Amino acid sequence: MSSQKVKLKIKSKAQSKSKTKASPTKKEVDRLKELQKTFKPNLTPYQVLKMGSFGGTYWRPIYSGETDKSLKKQKLENQHLKYNWDLPDEILTKPFGEYDKNINKYKVKVGQTLANWEAKKWITKYDPYGWFQWYCNYSLGRRTPDDLRQLERWHGLAGPNGRFRKYLITLIVKKNGKWNDYSISPKIRQTLQHWGYKLTSADFKKELQSRKEKKL
């Protein structure tokens, strides 16, 4: 066999390997199952939007470079229609430049731009609008290779040990307030709402009990 043929064979194997996506490890599969069991947002996607979120802009038309890498930017619009929500466009599809904090439940502006999300590699082709789009699709039963990452993100922010959830409780305790005193950190509350979670009396008491036991 000539050296040229050997080189071609080697190249062919390398190309084939690069195109094959690695299967998840057992550790990743086990972690995914664990996170799925403990993924318990207490607001549905519909409730998140109906309560007032994202300044009314989440489902605006966008230009995404994540849906197809062969395209510089692809325009996406009317992505919300597939969910059949009985909600007015005024709280869903406003241009980002018309972000209206008064639409939000806690009357504050929170969040970053899509460009920032893309720059930080938080956006993938599966859900070019971001985490909340992933949540909408996950709630409908869709599963993708991105589920583990997105579940990790939720747990890290809004789960029982999530940093935003814990910090909100810490602020309430410092101010000797009540769990439903919405004047305490409305920005954190609004952010948690965008992630499908609203602090409850039960969760507040459970966290306080946990902190008390750790001191013993």
Task: Tell me the pLDDT band of 14, cut-offs 50, 70 and 90.
Answer: very low
CA atoms lying within 13 Å on the CB side of residue 57:
17
Q: Which residue type, as a one-letter code, is found at position 98? A: E
Q: Which residue type, as a one-letter code, is found at position 178? A: K
Task: Tell me the pLDDT band of 21, cut-offs 50, 70 and 90.
Answer: low
Quickly tell me which residue has 């589920």 as its tokens.
147
Task: Tell me the pLDDT band of 4, cut-offs 50, 70 and 90.
Answer: very low
Task: Decide if pLDDT at 17 tops 60.
Answer: no
Q: What is the pLDDT of residue 112?
A: 87
Task: Decide if pLDDT at 149 tops 50.
Answer: yes
Determine the length of the chain.
216
User: Facing residues of 202 across strands?
Assistant: none
Q: Which range has the worst mean pLDDT, 9-13, 36-40, 135-139, 176-180?
A: 9-13
Q: What is the pLDDT of residue 115?
A: 86
Query: What rounded mean pLDDT belongs to the chain?
Result: 89
**135-163: burial string, b at 16+ Cβ within 10 Å, e else:** bbbbeeeeeeeebbebbebbbebbbeebe
Q: What is the pLDDT of residue 12?
A: 42
Instruction: Render pLDDT for 43-87 as a digit per residue (tens, 0 to 9).
Output: 999 999 999 999 999 999 998 876 555 545 678 999 999 999 999
Q: What is the pLDDT of residue 156?
A: 98
Instruction: Render pLDDT for 137-148 as a digit per residue (tens, 0 to 9).
Output: 999 999 999 999
Q: What is the pLDDT of residue 116?
A: 87
CA atoms lying within 13 Å on the CB side of residue 73:
8
